[in-house]
Structure formats: C-alpha cells, structure tokens
Chains A and B, each alone.
Chain A
Amino acid sequence: MKILLSWVNEFLSTPLSAAEVEESLISNGIEVALTASLAQGLEKVVVAKVVEFAKHPDADRLRVCKVTDGSDTFAIVCGAKNFEAGDHVALAMVGAKLPNGMEIKKSKIRGVQSFGMLCSEEELGLKDEAEGILILSRDTTLGQPLADVLDRNDTLIELELTPNRGDCLSIVGVAQEVAAHRAISAKIPSTGSKGGVKGDLRIQIEDPKDCPRYSLQLFDSIATGPSIKPLTRLGAIGLRNRLNAIDITNYVMWERGQPLHVFDADHVVGSISVRRAKAGESILCLDDEERALTTEDLIIADEKGPIAIAGVIGGKRASVTEATQKILLESAHFSPTRVRKTSKRLNVHTDSSHRFERFVDPAGVWSASTRARELLENFCQARHLAEADAGTTQFDPVKIRLRKASVLRHLGQEVKNEGEYLARLGFSVERKEDDFFVEVPTRRPDITREIDLIEEIARLHGYSNFGSKLPSQTGIAPLWDSHVATDTVKSFLAQHGCFETCSYSFASSEHNALFSTAGESPVKILNGLTQDMQEMRVSLFPHLIEAWKRNQVRQVPLFRAFEWAKTYRSAPESTTETPAIETRTLGLLFAGQMPKAWDRPERPIDFYDLKGLIEAFSEEFNLNFSFVKAEVPPPYLHPGICAEIRFRGKTCGVIGALHPNLATRLEVEAPILAELKVDPWIEAIGNRSKFKPFSIYPFSEKDLAFVVDSTRTSFEITDLISSLKLPHLASVRLFDVYTGKGIPKGKKSLAYTLRFSSQEKTLTDEEISGDLRRVIDAVATRLDGQLRS
C-alpha cells in the first residue's frame, strides 16, 4: 500500500520525518518497500511564462520560444503546440534530471540553441502519458519551484503489509502503529457511531451472516466535475483521478480503510437488498464485463436486479457518471470469506475486495460514511437527503486474559510495561495482580488469544531488546544418516569427474511419455506455467539430455553430469501418508569426447566409461552391483547398448546409450545414460566393513584366452567360472578382447587373468593345474569355447 508522509502526519500529535516513520514501521513489523520524495526530479523545474514564440527556421514542427522565469529569459526549442504566448508552463532548466530519467542539457536543435525544456505531465512523472506540455494556471508565481505549485513536497512510502494486518490498509491504522511505537499520541477518529433514520431509504439484509451491517446516505445536487485539489493525494499514490464523488470514496477508503461505494440514485429502482445472487443472474460490471453470478455470491440488488457485487465491484447500470445528480453512498461490512470466494472465482481483485478479504472494522462503517459526507458537502456542494444504517450496529470487543507468567514463558524474560504497550495500541487494559484483562477493539480481528497479545508486547518492546541464548543441548545429532550418505555419494561422483546438475522437477507430457516405463502414470500439474510444466518428471533423463544439448551448443566437448533428485508417479491410491510415489533417483549422463592430449588421441566417451564409474562407485561403497543385459530394454535406450543394474539380485537401475531414433528426434549427439533408484542401496552405504584376513603367501596368476562365438558375453564365462566354486580362485579379470587375424570369422577371443591364492600356503603349479583344467573343460563343454594356444 502506498501512503504519503503528510497524510500520516495529519493523524499524529507530533509530525515525524519520513525516516522516523520508516523506522517505526519496520520495528513494528511493517515492511517498507520504498521511500521516495515526490519532488524528486523536479528540483530544477520552475514556473515560467512564454513571452513569445516563432516557428523554427528549419523545422515546421518545432517552435522557438522565449520564456521567462521572472528574472531571466531563455530560448527554448519546443515540439508542442498546445500553448500560447502568456501561458504559464513548467520549465526544466539546464541541469535538471527529470523523474523519467531525462537529463536536461544545453543543446542545439536543428541549428538553434535551446536552454532547457518545456515539460509535459508525462515527462514530469505525473501521468503515464500526456499530449502536449503542462499548462499551469496564470495565478502561479514565475520562478516558483514546480514542486511547490503541484504540492509535491511530500514523501511517498510504499508498504508491504502481511495479510493479518487489514487494519493497516489505512492511513489511520498506519498512524496508530507509528504512534504506538514512538509513544506519542495519535489523533485517531472515533468509531462506533450509528446512523439515524432519515428519509425513506429501505434496506433489506437477507444474508446477515455475510453482511451484518449495511448503511446508505442519499445526496443530491452533486457537482460531479473533475477532481478537486485535496484529492490530488490520490494521484500521488496511484489512484486514478475520476469523478469527485468517486474520488471521495477512494480518499475515505485510503484514510479509514473502509471501502465505500456510490450509486446513481436515479438509476436505482425501489428498495435495496443485500442478498445472495440467484442462479442464472448476471451483472454488467463497471469494467464493461458481463459476469455470471452464482448463489455463492453476495450482491447488492434493487427491484430490477443486481447493481453491485458486494465488496468486489460495482455494476454499470447504477454507476455514477458525469451526468449523475443524486448519489447513494454505501458503507457496509461484508464477510472476508464471502468476498474472497467471489473475488477469486471471478478473478476480480479490487482495492475494496482486498480490504474486505482482510477484514474491515464493522464498528467504523458509519464514521467512514460520515467522513465522506463531510467531504461531499465541502467539495461537491452535496445536499444530504436521507440516511439508514441497517443490521447490527453493536460490536463487542474481544476480551482476553493475559498472565504475566505466560509472557515470561514465551519470551524468556520479564517485560515490565506489558500493560502500557497494549494501551498504546488502543486496547483497554485492566490489571488484577499478575493478570491483565484486555479488551481488543474490533478493528484488530487478528488478536483473539493470549499469544496474540504476547506478540504485540514483543513487537512494541522491540525484538532487539530481548536477550539471546542457545537452548541447552539435549543430545548430539546422529553422525550418519541418509543425508550424510547422499552427500558422500555426491562427493564421490564429483571427485570422479562428474558435475552435479540441478533442474526443475517438471516435465512436458511428451518427455514423460518418452521416458516412462509401461504402466506408470505421471502426476499432472493443473496450473503449470509452461508446456514444460505439465507434469512431474518420471525420469531425470530429459533434463540431463537438455543440459548436454545446451552445453554442446556452447562448444563443451565433454559432459559428465549427474543429478540427484526425486522422480514422481501417481500412487494407485493416494493417502495422506503417501499422496504420490516419490522416488529418490540418481541420474548420470556421459557424452562427448575424451579430450586428446600429447600422449593420446581423442576418443568418444562410451558405455564402458560410465559403467567403469558405476563399478568404482559400487566398489567404494561395497554395493556389489551387477550388470545384466536387459531382457526388455527400455524403449528410450539403444537395444544393443543397454543393461540393468542390480543390487542384491534386484534391478535398481539401467545403463545404456540413448536410442538412436530418440537422439535424432531430440537433436542431440547420443549420450550414455544411467539411472538408479537410490532407496534400495542408500542404507547400505556407510555399512561398517569387517576386517577379513588376507593371505600372507604369494598368489599365482595364470592367463587363459578362449575363442568363443562372438555373440557370447564375457559374463557367461566369468559366471561359469565362479559357478565352479574353485576353492583357491581369488579373482577373474578380463584383460583382452580380440578379433581379427588368427580368429575364425564369427568368433572372438576373450582373455582372462585368474588369480589363485591360499590362506595356508604357497600354491604349487600342480595344485593350480587341476583347477585350470576344470575351467578349460567347463568353457569347452558348456560354452563351446576353445582354449587359444
């Protein structure tokens, strides 16, 4: 909300500076977004008179003017034509820096010297757009600063109010806060007055729950002409200047926080009722939109139908225009929930609905109306004809018992002047021993409990005036948990050449469809901001690929990345415990070229680079992952370059190359990808290893090469060897894969180093040769593999 310093000062016994007001508001918990002098940019702008002007010798559209500020005359080249000799105008002198940022310098325009500029309202920051320059009244004094003439010697303060402080959506509310902080008195207008019965205004409140109070005043002889001077404040705070009567309602709303509405009484038919809309009813609103209403909407209606949506927006039919003679002034209380529901459903947010949603003091309904009457009578020559104040007019304050012990318990220290702080806020306080009995005025609906009072006390005492200490230690946080495990894994990957990426949890439906497995249903977002936010992602791949693509465009030759995040699927049955299935997932992407160096050529990064990393990872954390050729490869991976990753016999992930068709479709050089579900193995990370004694005797190693069908996998051989359960076989390691000279077509040679060792002795060749024989025989008989000599 924007406020003006002068306006706040009107309600304070001692005027304060902008800095003082700002300090008080911040200390009291009201954020100040901006403090700006309204005269800023007008420092070197003065009233001047156009003495004479002539057409520019070289430009038809320009005039060369002679203007005077009363002591000096200046030659000014001007493009506007809406002035005559003798007009008073706003002259920006050389050196001025206007509110729109324009700096005025001595310049030559088409060969003619110009010593300043005649300004438009737009250039002076008074309006968003303007045609021609600003013409001032001829009563103005030449040379007088424009800021004085326009009454701009004021400070604009913009507040960011929290939704609990509806009472501060008014100058009076802000003044009360400032006064309470500074312990000065505020001239707060009294509330609680009631309207009388005068004339024949009939009001029927059909929904007293949503509208406990509704009042009207009728005036005639309204001068509805253009806005008048005291209301220029509205321009400064960004409220459009319209017709006098409307401006007055806005002025009072800003000052008191009570939204008011005016109807053209000549267009209101019969008596007024406040009721729910009927199904099928609609209303043409002030903004020329026709809006369909429901029985959930509260409306103001006359005998012909709706004339306003209560607290939200007025209707066109009975709206005030320049032709209006008689007005009906509405001041009422509408329930926050009702106004909010309608305002949300219709997506109409107004200054009025904003206030009603945040609660407007029902006790202030009539005093605000009276304030508007005063302004209407003073500035619009209005004649008061009738009034009515229907519904409840008595609103009882909330009574709360505050225990001194509670203050101590919550705030940790005694606060001596609790009672005084509350009194400063306008609460009535009665002390009985260690208890305070507090009555809270109706304008503060946020205060209903003891804790609310304690917050008020803390606020006014000043948070900085409380001590600080650490709570006594209740224990040491566990040294190891899944968060530490996560960090450990991430660090391992980063230390092994991977960059951690971070991307949005969203995906387009298209990407989700490409990267999901059959039977999974994605979680849909109802109000995503873009196409890429239609669903929650089912896989980390699309974003990893996107990152690779983006970096590839930026000439990154090698990209090794991982992301650790959740993927999401709909739960078959959503419960409060598990609203959806969220799977912690580790995604990896390797792509591009291993760079060439002085000792080795460039080579494309491939499956085995990523597999090697995952193997190292598996070894580091004792996970014993196995890689098994995928029987049904996921559709997004290359069917020939793809494996399942298993942990304790269960599949927990996949690794493979992006399917070539998909690479084409996504316009990217195919990367190697891997994705692992984290939950199956994260708990195993950090498992304490137990020492296993190692042999003190030397081991012996034998190399064996087998020629097998090229379709055979290395795993078939190693698996077969380990199935023999040779007691002394310590490890089998593949060290060569060979095809070519000496190997028949359709075959390949796989060479392994077998290491034998014993805990008891040094093994002799004879002891090993039996085992070797068994290996050779088994490979020959079961896999048709011949020992290569």
Chain B
Amino acid sequence: MKYLGKKSEMSQFLKGLSASEPSERKAMGQAIHEVKSFVEGELDRVEQGLVEKETLEKISKESIDITLPGRASLRGNLHPLTRVESKIVDAFRSLGFSVAEGPEIETDHYNFESLNFPKDHPARDMQDTFFLGQDLLLRTHTSPVQIRVMERTPPPIRIVVPGRVYRCDMDATHSPVFHQIEGLCVGPDIHFQHFKGTIEEFLRTIFGSSTKVRFRPSFFPFTEPSAEVDIMGSKGWMEIMGCGMVDPNVLMSVGKAWTDRGEENPYDPEKISGFAFGMGIERIAMLLHGIDDIRLLYENDLRFLSQIKG
C-alpha cells in the first residue's frame, strides 16, 4: 500500500510526472510502470506461494488411508425360490399370461374330483395327501386354481399360478412343502402344437436358447393327451414338468358350475380347448443353481441364503 497504492509514493510520483517536461514524460512514465508491474508481479507470486503451501498442508492433513474398508451398507438377499419364481412368471408374462392365486387349504372337490380324479381311483395315489378333515386337505398341486378361475371367468384365459403345495413325503428330493407353478391357456382354437410351442419357448427362456426339449407321453387325470417334458442336461434327459391338453371332463366339470348358477356355459368341450402345465419351482431352482439337496432350501442357513444370486 505504502509503495503501490493510490496514495503511495509511486502514485505521487506518477502524478508528479505531469509537471515534468513532455519530452521526458513518456520515457519516465514507461520506466515507472515497469517498476510498478514488476513489484506487483513479485508480490502476487509470494502470495500464491503462501496459498499453495496452506492448501498443501490442508490436503496432507486430510489425507486418509483409502485401503480401510468402506462403511458397509447391510446386504440382504432374496430367497432362491423367489428369484426362480419371478423368472418363470416373467417369462410367461411376456407370453401374455397373468398371475392368479388360490387357497392352499382345499376341498376334495377342487383338488381331485373336478380335476377328473375319481374317488377311490389309484390316480389319487400319485399324490400323497395331507388331510385336514372329512373333505378338507392341503392342496397337492396348484391345479385347483385352474378350476376356480374357469368357474368364474369365460375363455380365453391365460394364467400362471405360483404357490405352495403339499405332499406327505420327505427325503433329499421330496419336501412335504414345495412350490409349483401351474399354467393354463384356454380358448377356442388351442391345440397340441400351441402347447408344445409355448413350453419350448418358456424352457428356452429359462435354460438358454439352445436347450434341447423332449416331450414324452404320460398320464395326468386332468389332461389328455398328457406329457412329461425333459430337457437335456449334462447327465442326459431330465424331467422338468408335466403338462397336457385340458381333459374334456375338466371342462365339463367347470361348465357344470356355470349351468348350476343358471348362466350360459362358455366351456363346451366341442368348441373350447386348452393346455395346462405344472412344474416344481424347487426342482428348477436346484437345476439352475446346482443345489443337490432340497432341504437346503428350507433350512435358512445364512451361508446358503447369502450365496445364491442371479
């Protein structure tokens, strides 16, 4: 300030210039300016240095050990069965199927009778049943939901039904509680080729586009023709699901519910047909994730729960 400010000696000196000879004025002015800007530049440099030093000190003081672990945010995980169920449902959603649900505690009528399992027929031995009462049981499959939906909704129908089912059986490959996904597609022109096409499309979505699929004739009381579906795995063909064309007896049973209510029956088996399929979610989860014992899925061991991703 003292030397370079407005009231400084240098400014005074500059002001004094006006009094000097014009011929000298220019050269002197130039010299004075040179001095002034030199001094100013030097001062700036010193100041800059001071700031820089301060910053460096600050930075050095604030430096951290970036190798310390980050502050953990707690991680959780979805159960493998949820993951697989979502995948399956999503695959069918994209084929126009929507999700339906139904009760797990069922009547004999919905679980067996209307699905063409006559009373006292050996077909009932295919599904070991937990009984809750005279007519009450734990559903052995998700198929009763087919009936419940068709009794209320006219065709066309496209649904998938995920849910828990129960069989009186327990070992490394059988769980008394397991999850199934049922599918139903009913309409005026649905035939065997549609059923093959839909299931092939689905299996290739889940297991990869080059998956080899095989359909074998089989038997389920509520479908005809019936089939088991295998996919080719590393150890040969593996059974993956059961399916078939909806048996006309099932459509007739559903139609009866409509006529009993006094409504027009939209399920004439001469006009309406469809296909249905069902698969165990556990089995698919075990295949996809290489799980060898079904019980792992129900033990809730954190080492298991935290492991299965994707």
Q: Does A554 contact B (CB under 8 A)?
A: yes
**A501 CA / B228 CA spacing, docked (Å):** 31
Q: Does A723 contact B (CB under 8 A)?
A: no
Residues of B within 8 A of A477 (CB): 92-94, 96-99, 158
Contact B273 A409 (CB under 8 A): yes
Residues of B within 8 A of A476 (CB): 96
Residues of B within 8 A of A565 (CB): 164
Q: What is the distance, in angstroms, from A414's C-beta to the closest C-beta of chain B?
A: 12
Contact A164 B219 (CB under 8 A): yes
Q: Does A772 contact B (CB under 8 A)?
A: no
Residues of A within 8 A of B224 (CB): 451-452, 454-455
The interface-forming segment of A211-219, A260-268, A488-496, A662-670 is A488-496
Contact A163 B227 (CB under 8 A): no
Q: Does B176 contact A (CB under 8 A)?
A: yes
Contact B193 A413 (CB under 8 A): yes
**A500 CA / B300 CA spacing, docked (Å):** 8
Residues of B within 8 A of A423 (CB): none
Contact B216 A468 (CB under 8 A): no
Q: With A506-B177, A550-B301 as known contacts, state yes or no: A527 contacts B168, CB within 8 Å.
A: yes
Q: With A162-B219, A455-B226, A477-B97 as known contacts, state yes or no: A527 contacts B130, CB within 8 Å.
A: yes
Residues of A within 8 A of B299 (CB): 550
The interface-forming segment of B18-26, B35-43, B50-58, B73-81 is B73-81
Contact A579 B103 (CB under 8 A): yes
Chain B interface category by residue count: 35 or more
Q: With A163-B121, A463-B227, A580-B105 as known contacts, state yes or no: A458 contacts B138, CB within 8 Å.
A: no
Contact A466 B196 (CB under 8 A): yes
Q: With A409-B273, A576-B110 as known contacts, state yes or no: A337 contacts B303, CB within 8 Å.
A: no
Q: Does B198 contact A (CB under 8 A)?
A: yes
Residues of B within 8 A of A316 (CB): none
Residues of A within 8 A of B130 (CB): 525-528, 533
The interface bits of chain B over 153-173 (1 if a CB of A lies within 8 angstroms of the residue's CB, else 0) are 000101000101010101000
Residues of B within 8 A of A164 (CB): 123, 219
Most interface-central of B68, B86, B97, B300 (chain A CB within 10 A): B300
**A358 CA / B104 CA spacing, docked (Å):** 30
Contact A474 B158 (CB under 8 A): yes
**A757 CA / B13 CA spacing, docked (Å):** 60
Q: Does A498 contact B (CB under 8 A)?
A: yes
Q: Which residue of B is nearest A349, CB measured?
A: B125
Contact B300 A502 (CB under 8 A): yes
**A778 CA / B145 CA spacing, docked (Å):** 58
Interface size on A, residues (CB 8 A): 93
The interface bits of chain A over 306-348 (1 if a CB of B lies within 8 angstroms of the residue's CB, else 0) are 0000000000000000000000000000001100110000000
Contact A487 B86 (CB under 8 A): yes
Q: What is the distance, in angstroms, from A713's C-beta to the closest C-beta of chain B?
A: 28
Contact A490 B68 (CB under 8 A): no
The interface bits of chain A over 21-35 (1 if a CB of B lies within 8 angstroms of the residue's CB, else 0) are 000001111010000
Contact A469 B106 (CB under 8 A): no
**A31 CA / B86 CA spacing, docked (Å):** 31
Q: Does A677 contact B (CB under 8 A)?
A: no
Q: With A451-B248, A467-B193, A477-B93 as known contacts, state yes or no: A561 contacts B131, CB within 8 Å.
A: no
The interface bits of chain B over 123-141 (1 if a CB of A lies within 8 angstroms of the residue's CB, else 0) are 1011000111100101000
Q: Which residue of B is nearest A574, CB measured?
A: B136
**A611 CA / B227 CA spacing, docked (Å):** 50
Q: Does A599 contact B (CB under 8 A)?
A: yes
Q: What is the distance, in angstroms, from A235's C-beta to the closest C-beta of chain B?
A: 28
Q: With A26-B216, A163-B122, A341-B120 as known contacts, state yes or no: A459 contacts B225, CB within 8 Å.
A: yes
Contact A556 B302 (CB under 8 A): yes
**A499 CA / B176 CA spacing, docked (Å):** 23
Most interface-central of A162, A413, A496, A528 (chain B CB within 10 A): A162
Q: Which residue of A is nearest B159, CB measured?
A: A477
Q: Does A470 contact B (CB under 8 A)?
A: yes
Question: Given B77, B192, B227, which contacts A500 in the complex, CB threshold below 8 Å?
Answer: B77
Contact B168 A451 (CB under 8 A): no
Q: Does A598 contact B (CB under 8 A)?
A: yes
Q: With A28-B217, A525-B138 as known contacts, state yes or no: A502 contacts B193, CB within 8 Å.
A: no
Q: Does B95 contact A (CB under 8 A)?
A: yes
Q: Does B109 contact A (CB under 8 A)?
A: yes
Contact B194 A496 (CB under 8 A): no
Interface hits, B153-212 → A, CB 8 Å: 156, 158, 162, 164, 166, 168, 170, 176-177, 185, 187, 189-194, 196-198, 200-201
Q: What is the distance, in angstroms, from B249's C-beta to the closest C-beta of chain A?
A: 9
Q: What is the distance, in angstroms, from A782's C-beta to the closest C-beta of chain B?
A: 40
**A495 CA / B185 CA spacing, docked (Å):** 35
Contact B103 A582 (CB under 8 A): yes
Residues of B within 8 A of A561 (CB): 300, 305
Q: Does A471 contact B (CB under 8 A)?
A: yes
Interface hits, A3-32 → B, CB 8 Å: 26-29, 31
Q: With A412-B192, A597-B69 as known contacts, state yes or no: A474 contacts B156, CB within 8 Å.
A: yes
**A547 CA / B97 CA spacing, docked (Å):** 35
Contact B192 A410 (CB under 8 A): yes
Q: Which residue of A is nearest B269, CB measured?
A: A451
Q: What is the distance, in angstroms, from B296's C-beta to the closest C-beta of chain A?
A: 11
Question: Given B164, B226, B305, which contacts A499 in the complex, CB threshold below 8 Å?
Answer: B305
Contact B120 A499 (CB under 8 A): no
Q: What is the distance, in angstroms, from B237's C-beta to the closest C-beta of chain A?
A: 9
Q: Which residue of B is nearest A504, CB measured?
A: B177
Question: Given B68, B99, B228, which contacts A598 in the complex, CB threshold below 8 Å?
Answer: B68
Residues of B within 8 A of A599 (CB): 71
Q: Does A449 contact B (CB under 8 A)?
A: yes
Contact A527 B131 (CB under 8 A): yes
Contact B192 A466 (CB under 8 A): yes
Q: Does B306 contact A (CB under 8 A)?
A: yes
Most interface-central of B71, B93, B105 (chain A CB within 10 A): B105
Contact A464 B76 (CB under 8 A): no
Q: What is the distance, in angstroms, from A174's C-beta to the closest C-beta of chain B?
A: 15
Contact B300 A550 (CB under 8 A): yes
Q: What is the distance, in angstroms, from B61's C-beta to the closest C-beta of chain A?
A: 18
Q: With A412-B194, A529-B176, A559-B302 as known contacts, state yes or no: A474 contacts B187, CB within 8 Å.
A: yes
Contact B215 A464 (CB under 8 A): yes
Q: With A470-B201, A579-B136 as known contacts, state yes or no: A481 contacts B98, CB within 8 Å.
A: yes
Question: Given B166, B189, B196, B305, which contacts A468 in the complex, CB threshold below 8 Å?
Answer: B196
Most interface-central of B79, B81, B97 (chain A CB within 10 A): B79
Residues of B within 8 A of A526 (CB): 130-133
Q: What is the distance, in angstroms, from B247's C-beta to the closest C-beta of chain A?
A: 7
Q: What is the distance, in angstroms, from B63's C-beta to the closest C-beta of chain A?
A: 16
The interface bits of chain A over 626-644 (1 if a CB of B lies within 8 angstroms of the residue's CB, else 0) are 0000000000000000000
Q: Does B218 contact A (CB under 8 A)?
A: yes
**A520 CA / B24 CA spacing, docked (Å):** 113
**A528 CA / B82 CA spacing, docked (Å):** 26
Question: Given B96, B132, B189, which contacts A475 in the complex, CB threshold below 8 Å?
Answer: B96
Contact A493 B126 (CB under 8 A): no
Contact A464 B106 (CB under 8 A): no
Contact A524 B132 (CB under 8 A): yes
Q: Which residue of A is nearest B214, CB measured?
A: A464
**A764 CA / B214 CA spacing, docked (Å):** 78
Q: Does A789 contact B (CB under 8 A)?
A: no
**A525 CA / B133 CA spacing, docked (Å):** 8
Contact B194 A471 (CB under 8 A): yes
Residues of A within 8 A of B197 (CB): 468-471
Q: Does A165 contact B (CB under 8 A)?
A: yes
Q: What is the distance, in angstroms, from A347's C-beta to the closest C-beta of chain B?
A: 13
Q: With A464-B215, A576-B109, A597-B69 as known contacts, state yes or no: A163 contacts B176, CB within 8 Å.
A: no
Given A340-B122, A455-B224, A597-B71, list of 6 further CB < 8 A pairs? A449-B248, A466-B196, A467-B193, A468-B193, A487-B86, A493-B76
Q: Rank and list the top 7 A-B pairs by shortest CB-CB distance, nearest first.
A: A497-B74, A29-B217, A162-B219, A412-B191, A412-B193, A468-B196, A468-B197
A-B contact pairs, 8 of them (CB 8 A): A29-B219, A340-B120, A409-B273, A466-B192, A478-B98, A481-B98, A561-B305, A578-B103
